[in-house]
Amino acid sequence: MKTLFDKTAGGEKGAASILVILMLLVLVTLGAFAVTSASANLKFSRKAAEWNEAYYELDAMGEQFLAAFDGKLAEAESAARQYVTGGLSGTETEPDAGIFSNIYLYFADMYIRELAPVYSGLDVSVTYNGLSAESILASLSVEYEPDEGGLRGIRIAVRVKPPEYQETDSGTARYGIESWYEYQGGDEAYEEPPVQLWDGSL
Amino acid sequence: MGRGGFTLLEVIISVAALALLSVFILQMFITAANLNKRSQDVETAMTRASSEIEFVKSYSSLAEYLKTGAEASEARYTAEDGGSVTVTVYYGKDWETVPEGGGALYSLVMTIAPEAQTGEPAENAVPGKLYSVRVIVEEILSGEKSRTLASVSAKKYFPVTQTGGGA
């Protein structure tokens, strides 16, 4: 049987070429591997970038909701002040802060619910302390289905507390963000402990 | 030929073949290196874009951002046009910030523009303002050409009810 460097049978002929061919094969294999790996890296980076862009689209929907929500609270505050002033115009005394709070929350609840046709995932609940309303908790889920399947969403919970009656332009927000997190998957995602992105404090 | 070793002709042919094919093999490695660089650029560009957006979102008003954040570094150029704000940052070879015209290879342009508010605000109500934030990170190529590495659109609502409309 002839071997590559079998001198007795003249097997050394072409051995240099065979070595070169082997070397080239190794180099081509490594080169192809490098190109494939780099190409996969680029694809992954682009995918991650798309994922990030989609996150900000969801986040933007949340911010849009906050804008609409705050607009409704502004309307509620204005309506409550007008109601209190008009309703108690026959009296000499200043309206009680507790009355204003209750009326404000009543209007806020009513106006926030007007957003429901636009934001189908909106859920509004009023928290009571005894017989008087204490705060309103509004939570919203915004979802979309990416092309590659699955489900992505953002869930926002906002708490509304009545403003001080005396303050008309206090420079503070009308609401506090209780939670703001992203989730993936279907309804079962709610059962998973959420990854909190922001506790709502500025 | 009876002795061990290669003939001169064999060596010449082999070296010639190796030299010729090495060009193509080298091309493969160069392509891989370029793809890796582009991948790294896309990742870095997206990180920078996200970072800029989060930086804006961390402020409670646009006025506060303009006062303290927009000029946080020397190599940031801020321009205001009406209610819109444009922040431009230039980066060098290793994504370090460089001044304009100082051998910049990448640029980041962030535009913060007010959005039309949905619905009329009630009388005496002082709502905040919704802004659209758009960040485009580009690789500056030769001439006037450039290649977009990342393009992100976000929104930010500034709820603070300061006198004058919250911004």
Hey, are the CB atoms on B150 and A64 less than 8 Å from each other? no
* Nearest residue in chain B measured CA to CA from A42: B39
Q: Which amino acid is at B67?
A: K
- Between A120 and B1, residue with greater pLDDT: A120
Task: Find the range with the poorest average confidence among A94-98, B66-70, B119-123, B132-136.
Answer: B119-123
Q: Is B111 helix (H, G, I), strand (E, B) or coil?
A: strand
Task: Find the range with the poorest average confidence among A50-54, A104-108, A119-123, B65-69.
Answer: B65-69
Q: Which amino acid is at B51?
A: S
Mean pLDDT for all residues in chain B: 82
Kindly indicate the confidence band of residue B12, based on its pLDDT and cuts at 50, 70 and 90: confident
* Percent helix, percent strand, percent coil in chain B, to nearest 5: 35, 30, 35
* Nearest residue in chain A measured CA to CA from B3: A7
Chain B contact set for A53 (CB, 8 A): 151-153
* CA-based nearest distance B152→chain A, Å: 5
Average pLDDT, integer, range A39-65? 92
Give the pLDDT confidence score for residue A94 in this predicted structure. Answer: 64
Chain A contact set for B45 (CB, 8 A): 49
Instruction: Decide if pLDDT at A124 tops 50.
Output: yes
Mean pLDDT for all residues in chain A: 79
Q: How far apart are CA B133 and CA A131, in angstroms?
A: 44
Instruction: Decide if pLDDT at B164 tops 50.
Output: no
Give the pLDDT confidence score for residue A56 in this predicted structure. Answer: 92
Give the pLDDT confidence score for residue B64 in this predicted structure. Answer: 84
- Residue closest to B59 by CA, chosen among B108, B129, B127: B129
What is the number of alpha carbons within 13 Å of residue B151 lying toward its C-beta? 3
- The answer to whether B91 and B49 have CB atoms below 8 angstroms apart is no
Give the pLDDT confidence score for residue A98 in this predicted structure. Answer: 72
Task: Find the range with the poorest average confidence among A61-70, A190-199, B112-121.
Answer: A190-199
Q: How far apart are CA A4 and CA A12, in angstroms?
A: 6
* Nearest residue in chain B measured CA to CA from A114: B119
Q: What residues of chain A, 6 to 25, have a C-beta less than 8 Å from chain B?
A: 7, 10, 12-17, 19-20, 23-24
Average pLDDT, integer, range A122-129? 86
Q: How far apart are CA B146 and CA B17, in angstroms?
A: 39
Task: Find the range with the poorest average confidence among B12-21, B23-32, B37-46, B48-57.
Answer: B12-21
Give the pLDDT confidence score for residue B167 in this predicted structure. Answer: 33
- Residue closest to A182 by CA, chosen among A154, A151, A148: A154
Give the pLDDT confidence score for residue A21 in this predicted structure. Answer: 85
Average pLDDT, integer, range A49-77? 89
Quote the pTM value. 0.79
- pLDDT above 70 coverage of chain A, percent: 76
Give the pLDDT confidence score for residue B166 in this predicted structure. Answer: 32
Q: Which span out of A14-18, A119-123, B134-138, B159-163 was modeled with the highest average pLDDT?
A: B134-138
Best B27, B35, B135 residue to mutate vs chain A (most A CBs within 10 Å)? B35
Hey, are the CB atoms on B43 and A45 less than 8 Å from each other? yes
* CB–CB contacts below 8 A, A to B: 164
Give the pLDDT confidence score for residue B163 in this predicted structure. Answer: 39
Hey, are the CB atoms on A19 and B14 less than 8 Å from each other? yes
Q: Is A46 on the interface with B (CB under 8 A)?
A: yes
Instruction: Decide if pLDDT at A176 tops 90.
Output: no
* Nearest residue in chain A measured CA to CA from B158: A67
Give the pLDDT confidence score for residue A177 in this predicted structure. Answer: 87
